[in-house]
Structure 1
């Protein structure tokens, strides 16, 4: 077993890609939960359940990026994790009711296997023990609280879930300089986050296809679909055209662990928002393009897009700060885009799906154009300097 930071270049393994594939199903079930109803309780349930699912993926990803191993024991433990992820997906729809015990057990198993991995890493990599033992204890308490919740009646069970997640989130946040002593891999980790982002962005494509298939063909419906394709492509562009490992490299070079942790946690609202955009696009396409778009559907799509723009803006800001660059205008563009989308949500009551899609595509494509202009001006400044 090797510490991930000791490897200069590293890409995702086939096992990691298979692991992501199983998470595709879980994310799809979460999206289905939101698609069934966009009321405030449904949105709350969607976001609340996304937290342990996303955090489960984060746990395995950070272990893999630090400890480069692909032996038989690791594969078998990953197989158990995959089983737990499938169980999470199966129990998503009733996680706040009749299947809450199954959901809690699945999450407890997922975190329990991670604890076993960290205990093994502490023995195989002695220099990593301060961090691995800390993680084993914190994540072990998290797993124990979720397991104990199985024997606690509703609604108190959810209090143990929240406490477990609080302990689990606090474990790496309070690790301080230990992150710098054993940093995650500077090229592998951004790639892994990029792959997960592709997964949730793919839900927008699924929503687009489903919504289009439910609509009777007309020029108006075709244009709405085309606008939605442009929106999804624009979101891909502004995130992946700026994806790099500056935050991780800063943690390695200067111990600026707080910056890379902000980079990490900003990806949660990004994932939540991107998956919700797919539901919003689905509802937009299913609606009659010539009638007013229902307020709930308008707020769902615009709210999700605003969250996505804001999250990408935070990621831009963190990356620039880590790389010791002046904060570029890209983050301001993203925040401005979020504000513009919220204006559509607030004032767009009279708008049809065609009009809403038309305004949103203008906002999204403008974000791409602004990035291209800044890239061009930056290149000209570099040449002139």
Structure 2
């Protein structure tokens, strides 16, 4: 018997993130915070590449368990989440050792194997958490382990080859995210099992045919719960960024300049919260409910959280040395991250049809061009002044959104993306 089991919309009961899910998110964000060790040294292409690679590995592991608990709802096994938390904790604990070894400082290479083993175990265990026969229609890559094959091979490779294999594995997963359609996978499995049960096929010798076959279910995410989890994750990442700024302020010399720097840093981070959560949706700036497929929302969420987590590193550097101009790598990291955030906001606004041409031009000029010009020209400007300029840019966008965009309320229905075979966020 082959059937597709999708609950009708009216049968779904609105639910919110459980305490166990929030606990799980906090551990995942601890891993994101550990990535500050990667960008804390001299910024170059190797550091940025390693940061992106480790962040994607942590995010994919978090997404696997997040989607499992989203679909399983009341049947979520807390023990599975706890095991996933332990795996993410091991990955986070090994990040400083990985950064120290890879970025030219030498040292023990065992943290690389620890990170790889923890990642493999976490992804495999998470992919096996699904109910037997369930096919996730929205983001099927979390159920498959093809991208883990290069990670397995890396356990026996030397240091530089390891990183190449890790990148190949993550790249394969990203490719599968783009090309895999859950609905198409389900249809192929359905066709295969139907053909196996065809009366024309003679059973193999010694095999009894009882007229039944495996049951395959096509399952979809709970959009309201998913949007809440994505938004909460962005909020927790922003909170962790505030913690890093506060920690840096605690080690700095107390004066008026320090107060001004911390206020400007807080305003910048709080402004990102407003754009992503208050005037955005699912933690994504300028997103409107029901406009883009789940797969696209998850991809944009990965990029937005990565950029937001990056901003905390140069902000902490400014708090510690606010009166001095930032070094080139710190200035470009800060200005480039802010420009990248607004670039993703423009993409989200255009994709969700919430941005007309004048608004898009305004966001490009003030949100993207202005930070990049600061990165190019503000070589002699103190880090403190640079943060104030960027905070003013964010505040201007908040003022603009408050005047022109009403705070969004979740609509009562959802529109399926038939071409992609996935649901849109509500």
**What is the TM-score with the length of structure 2 in the denominator?**
0.75
User: Looking at both structures, which has the greater relative contact order when contacts are Cα pairs under 8 Å and sequence separation is at least 6?
Assistant: 2
Q: 1:298 and 1:279 mapped to 2: Cα distance?
A: 11
Distance 1:247 1:234, change over 3 A: closer
How far 1:132 moved relative to its partner? 10
1:185 pairs with one of 222, 233, 239? 222
How far 1:75 moved relative to its partner? 2.4
- Residue matched to 1:75: 78
Q: 2:327 and 2:364 mapped to 1: Cα distance?
A: 26
- Select between 308-317 and 102-111 the one with higher mean Cα deviation: 308-317
1:263 pairs with one of 291, 297, 303? 297
How far 1:345 moved relative to its partner? 0.4
How far 1:83 moved relative to its partner? 1.5
How far 1:135 moved relative to its partner? 4.8
Tell which structure's C-alpha radius of gyration is larger: 2
In the alignment, structure 1 residue 345 sits paired with structure 2 residue 371 = no
How far 1:87 moved relative to its partner? 1.0
Contact 2:137 2:181 in 1 (8 A): no
In the alignment, structure 1 residue 55 sits paired with structure 2 residue 60 = yes
- Select between 185-194 and 205-214 the one with higher mean Cα deviation: 205-214
- Residue matched to 1:383: none
User: What are the Cα deviations for residues 122-164 of structure 1, in whole angstroms up to 9, with x where unaligned?
Assistant: 34xxxx448599657x622233442332123332223332332
1:105-254 to structure 2, matched below 5 A, reads 105-118=117-130, 121-123=131-133, 128-129=134-135, 131=137, 135=141, 139-176=144-181, 178=183, 182-244=219-281, 249=290
Contact 1:3 1:68 in 2 (8 A): no
- Residue matched to 1:253: none
How far 1:364 moved relative to its partner? 1.1
2:338 pairs with one of 294, 300, 305? 305
Aligned length: 356
2:310 pairs with one of 276, 281, 287? 276
1:89 pairs with one of 89, 92, 95? 92
User: What are the Cα deviations for residues 295-351 of structure 1, in whole angstroms up to 9, with x where unaligned?
Assistant: 222112111111222223323333x23xxx664765554433122111110010121
- Residue matched to 2:384: 354
Q: 1:309 and 1:346 mapped to 2: Cα distance?
A: 17
Per the alignment, in what secondary structure is the counterpart of residue 97 of structure 2? coil
How far 1:354 moved relative to its partner? 3.0
User: What are the Cα deviations for residues 25-72 of structure 1, in whole angstroms up to 9, with x where unaligned?
Assistant: 21121123322443442222212211111111112122222232435x
- Select between 43-52 and 90-99 the one with higher mean Cα deviation: 90-99
Q: 2:243 and 2:349 mapped to 1: Cα distance?
A: 27
- Residue matched to 2:37: 32
In the alignment, structure 1 residue 102 sits paired with structure 2 residue 114 = yes
The unaligned stretches of length 5 or more in structure 1 are: 251-255, 379-385
User: What are the Cα deviations for residues 246-285 of structure 1, in whole angstroms up to 9, with x where unaligned?
Assistant: 77745xxxxx74xx32222112221111111111111111
Q: 1:243 and 1:288 mapped to 2: Cα distance?
A: 31
Q: 1:151 and 1:51 mapped to 2: Cα distance?
A: 22
